[in-house]
Amino acid sequence: MQGILAGIITSVDVIGLYVLIPNVRYRLFLSVWTAALHMLFPLLGFELGNYLVRFLLDWGQWISSILLFCIGLHLLLFSHKDEKVTISPILLAVTASLDTFSVSISFGMLHLEKTLFIISAGVSALICSYGSLVIARRSQVLLGNKFQKIAGVILIIMGFLAIWQ
């Protein structure tokens, strides 16, 4: 039961990121890719955790914060133009799923049920990402590019907060 709950909790952050990005062309592809990464990264984290703990402890926060900052800056810079913001679905899914890698290392140390956690994280990520992308698309009609500006500022703040933790 703990593995299922942990998988769901690690997938909830996808909602926070994807609901802020309304201009995604292939929502189902991005959702499936995110779910696959939410299963692959924990698997790698469980298997390679002992070797990478030192690296992630030193650089994990910096990598996450730089990625969040860059996406937020990208959203802010392109919110003034009438062009659609295009972020590679591959980069977006990697950014959204990167934290599951480091989280799974600690879950591996706690001897959490690996299979349940990985399946739960993947299914939850699929549901959360597709649902938030649908909501983002519908909310853009109401809010326009104001939503994009707010998203950019929030992601930049999250990037700075990740450094200070």
Q: Which of 36, 49, 51, 42 is nearest to 113 (CA)?
A: 42
Residues 47-96: tens digit of each pLDDT: 776 666 667 667 777 777 787 787 777 777 766 665 555 667 777 788 77
- 3-class SS of residue 87: coil
> In the chain, what is the straight-line distance between the N-terminal and C-terminal CA atoms, in Å?
29
pTM for the full predicted model: 0.60
Residues 125-157: tens digit of each pLDDT: 899 888 888 887 777 655 556 666 776 777 677
- What is the rounded distance in angstroms from the CA atom of residue 122 to the CA atom of residue 91? 17
| Rounded average pLDDT over 6-22 | 75
Q: Are 38 and 124 in contact (CB under 8 A)?
A: yes
| Rounded average pLDDT over 108-127 | 81
- What is the rounded distance in angstroms from the CA atom of residue 165 to the CA atom of residue 162? 6
Using pLDDT thresholds of 50, 70 and 90, give the confidence band for residue 109: low
Torsion of CA 111, 112, 114, 116, to 10 degrees: 160
Residues 15-31: tens digit of each pLDDT: 777 776 767 778 888 88
- What is the rounded distance in angstroms from the CA atom of residue 96 to the CA atom of residue 128? 11
